[in-house]
Structure 1
């Protein structure tokens, strides 16, 4: 008789555990096309489950196309598309950089999986709704755990705990508080920023002062500020952190680090209204590469977004549950 994988200590509802067990075994070919499943009565008696619980699980499996019911005979494994792996991506936002990750992820998966995308907009409550609505419907849940700074971390962790660790992939941001073994491909924002600025010390040596333009309403990781501050203190440079570039008066022997492109444009415009030249009296360094920054010869520090998407997909296909730090580097140009 078919053996369900049920965990009595798991807080996931029993009917969802039945769904997850059957789906996983179909994907692993433990259950094959046209194979008959145990009846509702058999599963109820074998695992001391209420009939309603088993009926609900079979109904959901049927709705998802994994099984079919034959009148008077029972339930059988469906031969639907050889049941591609189903993956739910839950991003914090959709930007040009996130699109690079998304398309690189899809390219590696190819025809082996179908992928749905949802956005939680940094909102942990919305994230909870998305997960609650989709638990048991996917083989993997790929999550970017960026939330509003004021979000209670316990809420985000509580939601992540609903997802079986072997089905969870954390992407872009590390969560040291989440201790279950899952696949994670992440940026180490604080150390990446500090180490990359340190690697550019030869370029930064001529600047006595550094200014980070860091909008408080942009929901950017606070670790960026910590990494910037750590570098400046160690390098014995004066430093300041500003909300925007609009009110900033450019000063010589100052290097500016910008996160948003609007602030980058504002600083370039202001530099052209002064006698100072970029890369000499004024330094300019921006986060994340774009074609425009390449054309304007702007020095950039960036993670490799394409590698992040490719790595996550490749490790997911290999069923790995490891943590991998994504590459982060500087592109040296004349603005510094």
Structure 2
């Protein structure tokens, strides 16, 4: 599990970079289900990363369901969730209708997917950071924007790094009357494994 820290750019906190690299290794099959990961102390000594940072990375992996721990025995690749889809939901802002639809997306996909919500507050630089940090780590990227047009060249170039088959865009304002239409449109695009 020796990771090449020379590739660490510093754009992302190290704990997230370590966790995301382990996730990629799990999804590539480099770590098989039930295989044991290095202990926190061993990983820390092997890489020169502080024990606290490694522990935070492992906590993130546990929160995402990629690993489990057995007290006194160590950390193991989870046999259940590692095959689940990962969905990143990016919202330019949040209101009660968007919150309700996101909650429904999470509930309706919870048997086969893990979804994360991130806000970018109409800030293209923040949107770009979220996408760059997550690229390759998610099966679907749901981008919800209504204020910034997709025809904006900056928006096009940012979204252009996401493969078309993984990008789901919502560019509608939400209301009670169209909430189900938006929800059904999103769910229809997600291919269940």
State the TM bucket, normalised to the shorter chain. 0.5 to 0.7
Question: Where does structure 1 differ by over 6 angstroms across 4 or more consecutive aligned residues?
Answer: none
Structure 1, unaligned runs of 5 or more? 121-126, 129-146, 190-219, 221-258, 262-287, 291-302, 319-336
Q: Does the residue aligned with 1:30 lie in a helix, a strand or coil?
A: coil
TM-score, structure 1 length as denominator? Answer: 0.38
Kept in 2: contact 1:104–1:310 (CA 8 A): no
RMSD between superposed Cα atoms in Å: 4.4
Q: Does 1:165 align with 2:135?
A: yes
Structure showing greater radius of gyration is 1
Alignment of 1:26-175 (within 5 A): 26-62=26-62, 66-71=67-72, 73-80=73-80, 84-87=84-87, 89-91=89-91, 92-95=94-97, 99=101, 109=109, 111-115=111-115, 127=119, 147=121, 152-154=123-125, 156-157=126-127, 159-160=129-130, 163-167=133-137, 169-173=141-145, 174=150, 175=155
Aligned length in residues? 174
Give the number of the structure whose residues are more often strand, by fraction: 1
Seen in structure 2, the aligned counterparts of structure 1 residues 89 and 30 have a Cα distance that, compared at 3 Å, is: same
Out of 282, 303, 306, the residue aligned to residue 184 of structure 2 is 306
Q: Which has the higher contact order (CA 8 A, sep 6+)?
A: 2
Q: Does the residue aligned with 1:34 lie in a helix, a strand or coil?
A: coil
Shift of 1:41: 4.1
Out of 158, 161, 167, the residue aligned to residue 181 of structure 1 is 161
TM-score, structure 2 length as denominator? Answer: 0.59
Distance 1:60 1:81 in 2: 14
Shift of 1:67: 2.5
